[in-house]
């Protein structure tokens, strides 16, 4: 594999994002497309001054332009970029009009169906107990555009659910300055290095290039998003992150388990948040201040500290995922669920104690 090409692709993507972000910031400020916490009051909002979202446009342009230069425009790349375009447009609309979350999910599903319809599916998953679980049956034959094609029911359904879940769950991990870009850089590079195990397979080379492109785009955006942030990823930046990581995990010989482990903290956090909302009879998709980063802030952590914590945990899990067996990865995920569950329980009781015994309550 040409590692010079990989590094060059990452550098070009980085430079496009780095140079384009100030332009997007000025554009959003000129038109008044700002997320103003004084106007848009919401419990999940933690910034205290007007900030443009706009990160979705930066990421979309960096990934698209760099990919067209360094990758052949085949069917898969075309459908990926088309899906990313859908998410970028929805992200732009959300930056301006603050769309309903169900509307965003609907268009996210469209993006998922586009890539699944383009032939990007999950034909099998590794069984932690040994062997593989095949998802290539049943198949439904159909004639489309004069050709006989097959819908792989389980493979396509699993892929659609996986991609849509990543779009939303990864998007939820952008509440703190710099939190999301660092996670994406680590996760995408982990997938790239995981694909190196199959470096003799020429079909894996474009996957590594695309992963480096994604890492470069978010790395170039990071300096402007780190505390104190000058721009936020917005729904576009968050959803594109989840989409690209999910698709890369599929293309890299279905490294779904690897990505689950690397994104262990955001995914487990999302699991607990969803469960709490449903148990309380609330909508599972409307935002609140119950995420892990909110809990850490409530305990007195600063934004930089929370962000670096997410980066370090993701990095550690990423390095482990490259060496652990499938069974060991499963144990690690269970351990994460247990530890975060204990943390949420203890932090809730601690915050309740403070509210009852704080200075303002006598």
212 within a domain of the structure (yes/no): yes
Q: Which of 45, 23, 27 is nearest to 36 (CA)?
A: 45
92 within a domain of the structure (yes/no): yes
266 within a domain of the structure (yes/no): no
Region for residue 254 given its phi and psi (left: phi exceeds 0; alpha: psi -120 to 50; beta: otherwise): left
Looking at residue 151, its pLDDT comes to: 79
312 within a domain of the structure (yes/no): no
- pTM (predicted TM-score): 0.91
Q: Which of 92, 134, 138, 84 is nearest to 111 (CA)?
A: 84
Which residues, in sequence order, are CB contacts of 114 under 8 Å at separation 6+? Answer: 79, 82, 83, 86
**Helix boundaries (H) for the chain:** 3-31, 55-70, 75-97, 101-117, 153-171, 179-195, 205-225, 234-251, 256-262, 264-279, 292-298, 303-321, 326-357
98 within a domain of the structure (yes/no): yes
* Per-residue tens of pLDDT for the chain, all 362 residues: 578 899 999 999 999 999 999 999 999 999 999 998 877 666 667 777 999 999 999 999 999 999 999 999 998 999 999 999 999 999 999 999 999 999 999 999 999 999 998 888 888 887 777 778 888 888 887 765 566 667 788 899 999 999 999 999 999 999 899 999 999 999 999 999 988 775 545 556 899 999 999 999 999 999 999 999 999 999 999 999 999 999 999 998 767 889 999 999 999 999 989 998 998 888 888 878 889 998 898 888 999 999 999 999 999 999 999 998 888 888 899 899 898 888 877 866 555 444 444 433 32
């699993």: which residue's tokens?
A: 158
167 within a domain of the structure (yes/no): yes
Distance CA 34, CA 50 (A): 6
Which residue range forms the structural domain that includes residue 153?
3-254
164 within a domain of the structure (yes/no): yes
Mark 86-109 as b/e (b = at least 16 C-beta within 10 Å). bbbebbbbbbeeebeeeebbebbe
295 within a domain of the structure (yes/no): no
Q: Count how many domains the chain has.
A: 1
Contact 211, 189 (CB under 8 A): yes
Distance CA 150, CA 117 (A): 10
């Amino acid at each position: 594999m040409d590692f010079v090409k990989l590094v060059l692709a990452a550098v070009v993507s980085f430079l496009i994002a780095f140079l384009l972000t100030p332009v997007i910031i000025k554009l959003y400020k000129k038109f008044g497309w700002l997320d103003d916490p004084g106007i848009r009051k919401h419990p999940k909002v933690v910034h205290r001054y007007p900030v443009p979202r706009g990160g979705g446009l930066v990421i979309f342009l960096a990934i698209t332009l760099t990919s067209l230069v360094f990758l052949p425009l085949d069917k898969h790349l075309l459908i990926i970029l088309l899906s990313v375009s859908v998410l970028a447009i929805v992200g732009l609309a959300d930056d301006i009009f603050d769309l309903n979350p169900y509307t965003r999910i609907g268009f996210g599903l469209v993006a998922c169906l586009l890539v699944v319809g383009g032939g990007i599916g999950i034909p099998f998953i590794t069984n932690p107990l040994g062997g593989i679980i095949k998802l290539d049956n049943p198949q439904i034959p159909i004639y489309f555009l004069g050709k006989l094609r097959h819908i792989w029911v389980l493979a396509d359904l699993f892929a659609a659910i996986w991609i849509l879940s990543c779009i939303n769950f990864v998007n939820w991990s952008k509440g703190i300055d710099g939190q999301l870009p660092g996670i994406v850089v680590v996760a995408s590079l982990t997938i790239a290095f995981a694909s190196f195990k199959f470096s003799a397979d020429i079909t894996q080379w474009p996957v590594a290039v695309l992963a480096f492109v994604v890492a470069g785009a978010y790395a170039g955006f990071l300096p402007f998003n780190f505390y104190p942030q000058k721009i936020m990823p917005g729904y576009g930046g968050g959803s594109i992150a989840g989409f690209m990581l999910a698709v890369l995990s599929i293309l890299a010989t279905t490294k779904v388990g690897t990505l689950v482990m690397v994104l262990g903290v955001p995914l487990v956090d999302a699991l607990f948040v969803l469960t709490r909302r449903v148990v309380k009879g609330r909508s599972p998709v409307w935002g609140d201040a119950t995420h892990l980063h909110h809990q850490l802030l409530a305990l007195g952590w600063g934004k930089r500290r929370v962000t670096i914590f997410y980066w370090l945990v993701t990095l550690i899990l990423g390095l482990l995922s490259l060496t652990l067996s499938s069974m060991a990865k499963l144990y690690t995920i269970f351990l994460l669920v247990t530890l975060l569950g204990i943390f949420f329980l203890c932090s809730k009781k601690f915050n309740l104690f403070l509210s009852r015994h704080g200075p303002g309550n006598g």
